[in-house]
Amino acid sequence: MSSRSSSRREAGGRKKRTDTRKRSDARASDVHDQLYVASSELHGLGMFAAARLSADVVLGRLAGMPTYDDGTYVLWLTDELGLEVTNDFRFINHSKTPNCALTDVDVVTLRAIAIDEELTHDYGWP
């Protein structure tokens, strides 16, 4: 499968390839085959669904290094300890109406997510 297409089943069980990435800078994600990274209208780069995602799906686990210093891709686990996220989940942008959440360090969908919809998480900012 190319980095710009995904497979879907047609009637009769045949696979149909469809172009799901309308963004010219899209690239395949390193965390899940149904996600991609591209320019975001929210901020910088974002993570997007390459296929329809159901609610309550575990998309994967954050990967990173423990840190005590603040940074662009640091997720704070406690008041003192953070995780500098090193996989593509670092591109999930903030929203007060998120479609994903973290359960410990797993990323889970909160509701169904449409093709090409950006994945968002509530960072807990006031």
pLDDT classification of 22: cutoffs 50, 70, 90: low
- Classify 4 as helix, strand or coil: coil
Residue 3 pLDDT > 60:
no
The CATH number of the domain covering residues in 27-120? 2.170.270.10
Q: Where are the domains of the chain?
A: 27-120
pLDDT classification of 124: cutoffs 50, 70, 90: confident
**Tens digit of pLDDT for each residue in 25-55?**
899 999 999 999 999 999 999 999 999 999 9
Backbone angles phi, psi at 6, to 5 degrees: -140, 160
Can you give the pTM of this predicted structure?
A: 0.78
CA-CA distance, 115 to 49, in Å (whole number)?
Answer: 5
CA-CA distance, 82 to 53, in Å (whole number)?
Answer: 29
Q: What is the DSSP string of 91-107?
A: GPEE-SS-SEEEETTEE
